[in-house]
Chains A and B, each alone.
Chain A
Amino acid sequence: MIHQRTLWKSHYVIFALVLVLVALSAISGCTREEPEPAGQTLSLVIDCEANRKDEAEAIASQLRQIGIQAEARTWEWSAMKAEFMAGNRQLYMTDWGSSYFDPFDLAIPKLVTGERGNYSFYSNPQVDDLLTQATSATDDETRKALYHEVQDIIYNDAPWVFGYCLEEIAAASTKVGGWRVSMDSRINLHDVTLEGSDTITVGLGIDKIVTLDPGNYRDRDTETVIRNVFDALVTRTWDGQVVPEIAESWEIPDPTTYVFKIREGIRFHNGEVLDADDVIFTFERVLEENGIGGQTSPRRGLLGPLASVTKVDPYTVSFTLENPFPVFLQALCHFQIVPKDYVTEVGDARFAEKPVGAGPFMFKEGRLNDQVVLTRFEDYYGGSPELPPVGPAGINTVVFRMMPDPATRVAALKAGEIHIADKLPPDMADSLMDDPNIKVDSVPGTRTYGIEFCLTKPPFDDVRVRQALNYAIDWDTIIATIYGGRAVRLSTAFIPSGFGYNHDLKPYEYNPAKAVELLKEAGFNVSLPGR
């Protein structure tokens, strides 16, 4: 009986607790959802991932100075994306990379109505139209003019707070010669020399590379390893110019046809001769559905409107596109040629384990999550004549080590265990500047960083508020303090390394007075500090 009573009592306690909890959550819910009376405070939450937390905090504090109630919130990327894609967030920090040195894979996905990367839900029929024209126009001047027009429009529309473009920084031992950071972040070891040793070790800033099959990856780090084992029809100079590699020359008889003449006498590591059949095979296994080990290549989309590849003669191939694709040559830099006979003979899985290419180095051994070892291919045809030196590689052995932690890469470089440390954060790069045995190099990156607005909901459906925020943030201070000055301010969503960038369009200046004026116009209660 007593037992029963205590049981009842405990029920009361639980009931009371639940009541208190409900009441508390109702109160906190109310405060959160209290509607903003018009002409009142503007309150914002800036969403970011952990790597940009400092930046978000700095921005929030700048916004608070003019009376905006701003706070930063950190998310894991996928969770944040799911929320903002559902239209539940206001302002979110995002970034987007471009690998074609053309707004084609930046402006279109980010700004065209309904595109995959259009996180701000921006929709301007004029911009859509101009970008479509720019994609298919074949004359560079026309394309440039179209892109300039787009930049003017989005500058005024301000669908984002336009941000910056970070430099890519890497460091190497001073014993390494002929090395520099490349804008497409691929490391070309063919042209590199090393004093005092015939084995070069590169610390990659990643956990693992995905594969050694050139048809089965999508990330740049994997390509860094693959491009030293395989060569492509064309390649790039460090600043993004397309130059011949396996191809001797090419012609573009009409905007949808590209004819490549293949260099004769190129051999794969197994002795197989490289000819038109290998080139066709390389592209067909990517184009074909379920073409690689029963699965479709994740690289299919990178080829855009490529319809077919045909053999003209044993050393000439012709590519036919469904419609003009001005970045086609840029795209081809990323498609390394594989040996048809070998792949057909051993199968896709075995090929990925023991890759055979026509590049400067042969795969020796290794694990994708630990280290990959390559050795010099003595019968190398020499590589692109436009990228001297031509001939077999200068180094005998290459070791790529997966070193995800930047502090470890720096330590290993200092200890002389590695010769090149890839992907360094600005603060660590600065700490290496004083070391006489180490050189630091950098190039402008190909990734745009900004803050996107949710344009479908107040307050950011009002262009004045969007422009005001562009004026309210002091990017120069943020870049100087958080990124060690190693970033370039952007006037829009376009990046300087890309084709058609308008260098005359200046970024929004830091002008809190102007921001306050615009926000007041839009009906918000804000003021300059001290007034």
Chain B
Amino acid sequence: MRGVKILERALAAIPIMLGVCIVVFIFMRLIPGDPVDIMLGEASNVTQEEIDALRAQFNLDEPIHVQLTTYLTRVLKGDLGYSISRSANVRDLLLEALPATVELALSSITLALLVAVPLGIMTAVRHRSAVDRTSMAASFLGISMPAFWLGIVLILIFAVRLKWLPTSGRATYGFVPTHVTGLYVLDSILTGDVPALKDSLRHLVLPSIALGAAPAAVITRVIRSSMLEVMRKDYVTFARAKGVAEWAVILKHVFRNALIPAVTVTGLEIGSLLGGNMVVETIFGWPGMGRLVVDGIFSRDYSLVQGAVMVYGFTFVAVNLIADILYTWLNPKLVIGEKV
């Protein structure tokens, strides 16, 4: 029964992705500008014939519904099209950028959770203490600090001044691990390449902090407030009255029940992190999805943006599904597909 539900939800992703794809297809064509125009640039002597020939080559001279049909037919065959601005298959471009983004997103969220969970619990338990107040002030700072500013400050302190960590990039030349999954940390573990593992971890630290600061702050606040709410519940008082040890009350009775809102928020944060953050990727020279997509939008690279949006659609559906499954595990009374 549960398996069927999960499958149902997974299949529901298909119409969502298709819908998103069509909407993006139309919107991209509504914004002014044309990929050929941008590709040929402003710099040189280009004739109108040359422009027309290129437009015809990429089927841009056809009516929009014909273009859409051609595109959808291709997508169904698994062909995401050809990126005009990068002269490459969209599939290859996405497969190249996605691991970089996934790696950064996972490390940011791990970092965020490592900070947020203990801090959230501590601030709730020591409600109104100095720890609580300091953490809340810090988390306020975390939410308010723009990632690009934090990124530059981190680079200036840890890379330029202290020279502890590299300024940018994913790996130093010579330390790129053999390609297995495209996730450098995982690849270097799989191939047992210790120097590469060290190098890729060093490259991950600063961007992960820049990107993870805001989610860490948000999740801390959510865990704290939700814990505070649960701590007032009767069953917590009852557990204490039974003589359950305080740590067990907090972790087993309070924390577990307080986790549902945190899972929701974390899911959303992961979803948006997996979309890539153009600004942070630009600052840290990180070749991820954010830069790819923003550049695709500016160069009106229709197939590239459409392909990327489908990946986004899929990611969001998947992350939400995982969150739903987690809800039922946290609270067995819940059923997948029903509102929490």
A459 lies within 8 A of chain B by Cβ: no
B42 lies within 8 A of chain A by Cβ: yes
Give the number of A-B contacts (CB < 8 Å).
145
**A82 B33 Cβ-Cβ under 8 A:** yes
| A369-B292, A370-B170 given; A296·B53 CB < 8 A | yes
**B291 A407 Cβ-Cβ under 8 A:** no
**A302 B44 Cβ-Cβ under 8 A:** yes
B69 lies within 8 A of chain A by Cβ: no
**A301 B97 Cβ-Cβ under 8 A:** no
Number of interface residues of B (CB under 8 A): 49
**B40 A298 Cβ-Cβ under 8 A:** yes
Would you give the shortest CB distance from B144 to chain A, in whole angstroms? 21
B43 lies within 8 A of chain A by Cβ: yes
**B291 A404 Cβ-Cβ under 8 A:** yes
Interface 9-residue window, one of A94-102, A240-248, A266-274:
A94-102
User: CB within 8 Å of A: which of B287-335?
Assistant: 287, 291-292, 295, 298, 300
Q: A81 touches which one: B33, B86, B160 (CB < 8 A)? A: B33
Inter-chain CA distance A81–B57, complex, in Å, is 23
**A417 B50 Cβ-Cβ under 8 A:** no
Complex: chain B residue closest to A108, CB-CB? B45
**A408 B54 Cβ-Cβ under 8 A:** no
**A369 B97 Cβ-Cβ under 8 A:** yes
**B168 A412 Cβ-Cβ under 8 A:** yes
Inter-chain CA distance A105–B282, complex, in Å, is 32
Inter-chain CA distance A178–B54, complex, in Å, is 41
B16 lies within 8 A of chain A by Cβ: no
A144 lies within 8 A of chain B by Cβ: no
Interface 9-residue window, one of B151-159, B224-232, B254-262, B268-276:
B151-159
Which A residues are CB-close (under 8 A) to B81?
Answer: none
**A296 B57 Cβ-Cβ under 8 A:** yes
Q: B282 touches which one: A210, A401, A404 (CB < 8 A)? A: A404
Inter-chain CA distance A211–B87, complex, in Å, is 7
**B160 A199 Cβ-Cβ under 8 A:** no
**B39 A298 Cβ-Cβ under 8 A:** yes
**A401 B169 Cβ-Cβ under 8 A:** yes
Would you give the shortest CB distance from A150 to chain B, in whole angstroms? 17
A423 lies within 8 A of chain B by Cβ: no
**A415 B44 Cβ-Cβ under 8 A:** no
A239 lies within 8 A of chain B by Cβ: no
Which B residues are CB-close (under 8 A) to A99?
Answer: 43-44
Which B residues are CB-close (under 8 A) to A210?
Answer: 85-87
Would you give the shortest CB distance from B202 to chain A, in whole angstroms? 12
**B96 A367 Cβ-Cβ under 8 A:** yes
Inter-chain CA distance A373–B31, complex, in Å, is 38
**B160 A301 Cβ-Cβ under 8 A:** no
**A300 B50 Cβ-Cβ under 8 A:** yes
| A370-B169, A371-B169, A401-B285 given; A301·B47 CB < 8 A | yes
Which A residues are CB-close (under 8 A) to B53?
Answer: 289, 296
A402 lies within 8 A of chain B by Cβ: yes
**A207 B167 Cβ-Cβ under 8 A:** no
Q: B42 touches which one: A96, A352, A373, A397 (CB < 8 A)? A: A96
Would you give the shortest CB distance from A414 to chain B, in whole angstroms? 5
Complex: chain A residue closest to B50, CB-CB? A301
| A83-B32, A369-B96 given; A104·B45 CB < 8 A | yes
User: CB within 8 Å of A: which of B8-59?
Assistant: 31-34, 37-48, 50-51, 53-54, 57
Inter-chain CA distance A145–B87, complex, in Å, is 42
Would you give the shortest CB distance from A402 to chain B, in whole angstroms? 6
Q: B168 touches which one: A296, A304, A403 (CB < 8 A)? A: A403
**A415 B33 Cβ-Cβ under 8 A:** no
B212 lies within 8 A of chain A by Cβ: no
**A97 B42 Cβ-Cβ under 8 A:** yes
User: CB within 8 Å of B: which of A340-378?
Assistant: 352, 365, 367-371, 373
| A301-B50, A371-B173, A408-B168 given; A96·B43 CB < 8 A | yes
Q: B152 touches which one: A83, A117, A407 (CB < 8 A)? A: A407
A216 lies within 8 A of chain B by Cβ: yes
User: CB within 8 Å of A: which of B150-199?
Assistant: 152, 155-156, 159-160, 163, 166-170, 173, 176
What are 18 sample pairs from A and B whose C-beta atoms fall under 8 A apart? A79-B32, A99-B43, A105-B44, A109-B45, A116-B48, A199-B173, A218-B39, A301-B44, A301-B47, A367-B96, A368-B86, A407-B152, A408-B283, A408-B284, A411-B152, A411-B159, A411-B167, A412-B168
Identify 17 new A-B residue pairs, CB closer than 8 A, beyond the known A116-B48, A368-B86: A78-B37, A82-B32, A105-B45, A117-B42, A199-B173, A207-B291, A210-B85, A289-B53, A295-B57, A296-B57, A301-B44, A370-B285, A371-B169, A411-B159, A415-B160, A415-B167, A417-B166
- A-B pairs, top 5 by smallest CB distance, nearest first, are A78-B33, A82-B32, A97-B43, A369-B287, A370-B287
Contacts from A to B (Cβ < 8 Å) = 76-79, 81-83, 94-100, 104-105, 108-109, 116-117, 199, 201, 207-208, 210-211, 216-220, 289, 295-296, 298, 300-302, 304, 352, 365, 367-371, 373, 397, 399, 401-405, 407-408, 411-412, 414-417
